[in-house]
Amino acid sequence: MVKTLQLIRIIVILAVVFTPFMKVAAQSSNDLPVYIVQAGDTINSIALRFGISPQDLIAVNQISNPDLLPVGTSLKIPGFEGVSGTLTLSIAPLGANLRTISRQYEVDEDTIIRLNQLTSPAQIYVGSTLILPEKNPSARIKPLKALGEGESALETAAQFLSNPWKLVIYNQKESTARFLSQELIFSDISGDESGLFGSPWLKNIEITPLPLRQGKTHVVRVYTSKPLNLSGSLNNVPLSFFKEQENQYVAIQGIHAMAQPGLALLTLKAQDDAQMSFEIEQPILLEPGYYPQDVPLTVDPSTLDPAITQPEDELIRTVTKTATPQRYWTEKFRVPVDEPCIRSWFGSRRSYNNSGYIYFHTGVDYGVCANNLNIYSPAPGVVVYVGELTVRGISTIIDHGWGVYSGFWHQSAPKVNVGDFVETGQIIGEIGGTGRATGPHLHWEVWANGVQVEPLDWLEKVYP
């Protein structure tokens, strides 16, 4: 009820201020929003999409033969008072949330929720398809800027030569005092044309590939208009940003192979020298990796004992945690053996000694298929660990920089020492069967900022 009153108040304000520009007459059937029939649509599917009855749809549009619905037909959609124009399918871009869409399309949040039958605002994520009224793009309210610390909406209005009361109305506020620090401000004029996400400093954010996928390496690239300090997280893992070139920053981030599919959150915080800052939160779809289940494995029970596995896992996590500011590789990684016969793939779900499929295979296993046992460094880097472990056997870890590490388990003999700089193709060890292994093989794994990822991707593509 309170919300309805607020809405009425806003509509009254809008009506008073924009009387010359706005139609405020009660909605006749000519004012109903219009949906253009797409291939594959039926009366029932359209009614279902908008949550209305097929009978109402047929009646309003005076359809004589509901089975004949040519693609491209304009259908009036009843039940959405206050919405007019053509309803189109739009893909939510990076930076979109219920509030920004409401302001940009000048449709209240409740209507967007009803149009799209959303059960939660979190259902709006990068790549989600939304039904929104198409309006004259030039009239659309655009994000202007985020308010700086201590900066008022009045100052912003003055800065952008805008009427402060327009800001109040566009942003559905009751007064200019109601703006929060760092709040994203909308106006009918744009700030810096290149500015997205409400900050003139932030030109663009790219995440590749999209959607996110279990076990994959993702690259977050941020283009700015001036040097910024960037921080943030992807699916709750803190990102490590590095400067690629002037005003261009990149973070390489793995998504855990057993991460919960659904919506993951990207957060981004940027700060300039004057301590002006802004923050962005963006849900992004995270899809399953569709990894198969390995046949259940039987191993020495001591190699499953948490008293042994946990300190060992912790050691590996610690060694692979630091994101070295230097990036040592510039090309695709090379295969670390001469004959890459794969015995087990990354990501497959594993069960040991009837424990259930609670593990996943953290790397790729190469059998012994060449007439040598050589293990080669897949890329340049610094050797940061050499040692013998209960589960992993004789192990070597190479730091390739920027948070990217390679691990080589179950060796018979290491051929490098901690601190060595190795080149691509340099022999670093010998394939063996030490540790929790059912036979001689090389287990190679790749870490991207603290998360194990599909190593084969690194043979296919130059990251970032």
Sites of contact with Zn ion (CB under 5 A): 365, 443
Shortest CB 298 distance to Zn ion, Å: 15
Q: How far is the CB of 183 from Zn ion (least distance, A)?
A: 50
Alpha-carbon span 406 to 390, nearest angstrom = 19
How far apart CA 201 and CA 182 sit, in angstroms, is 14
User: Measured from the CB of residue 441, what is the shortest distance to Zn ion in angstroms?
Assistant: 7
CB of 86 within 8 A of CB of 60?
Answer: no
In the bound state with Zn ion, the residue whose beta carbon lies nearer, of 125 and 408, is: 408
Which phi-psi region, left, alpha or beta, contains residue 401 (left: φ > 0; alpha: ψ -120 to 50)? left
CB 165 within 8 A of CB 175: no
- Minimum distance from CB of 291 to Zn ion (Å)? 14
What does the DSSP 8-state code read for residue 370?
S
Fill in the amino acid letter for 383: V
- Cβ-based neighbours of 283, under 8 Å, separated by 6 or more: 122, 124, 125, 126, 263, 264, 265, 266
Minimum gap (Å) between residue 257 Cβ and Zn ion: 13
Q: How far apart are CA 222 and CA 208, in angstroms?
A: 12
The nearer residue to Zn ion, 145 or 436, going by C-beta atoms, is 436
Nearer to Zn ion, 173 or 443 (CB): 443
Residue in the shown chain whose Cβ atom is closest to Zn ion: 443
Q: Minimum Å distance from CB 452 to Zn ion?
A: 11
Give me the residue label for tokens 């979109």: 96
Longest Cα–Cα distance in the chain: 85
Pick the closer one to Zn ion by CB: 216 or 443.
443
C-alpha distances in angstroms, 459 versus 267, 374, 456? Answer: 29, 18, 5
Which of 286/437 has CB closer to Zn ion? Answer: 437
Which CB sits closer to Zn ion, 213 or 443?
Answer: 443
By beta-carbon proximity to Zn ion, the closer residue of 223 and 357 is: 357
Residue 136's Cβ-side half-sphere holds a number of Cα atoms within 13 Å equal to 3
- Least Å distance between CB 317 and Zn ion? 17
* Cβ atoms 348, 291 nearer than 8 A: yes
Taking the least distance from each CB to Zn ion, the nearer of 361 and 400 is: 361
Rounded Cα distance between 141 and 69, Å, is 35
Closest contact distance (angstroms) between CB of 233 and Zn ion is 29
For the CB of residue 361, give the shortest distance to Zn ion in the complex, in Å.
6
- What span, in angstroms and rounded, lies between the C-alpha atoms of 14 and 8? 10
Is the separation of the CB atoms in 221 and 175 below 8 Å? no
C-alpha torsion sign, points 390, 396, 399, 404? negative
Q: Cβ closer to Zn ion: 145 or 443?
A: 443
CB of 415 to Zn ion, least distance (A): 20
Is residue 10 within 8 A of residue 174, CB to CB? The reply is: no
Question: Which lies closer to Zn ion via its Cβ, residue 11 or residue 297?
Answer: 297
Cα gap 234→212, rounded to integer Å: 10
Name the residue type at position 336.
Answer: P
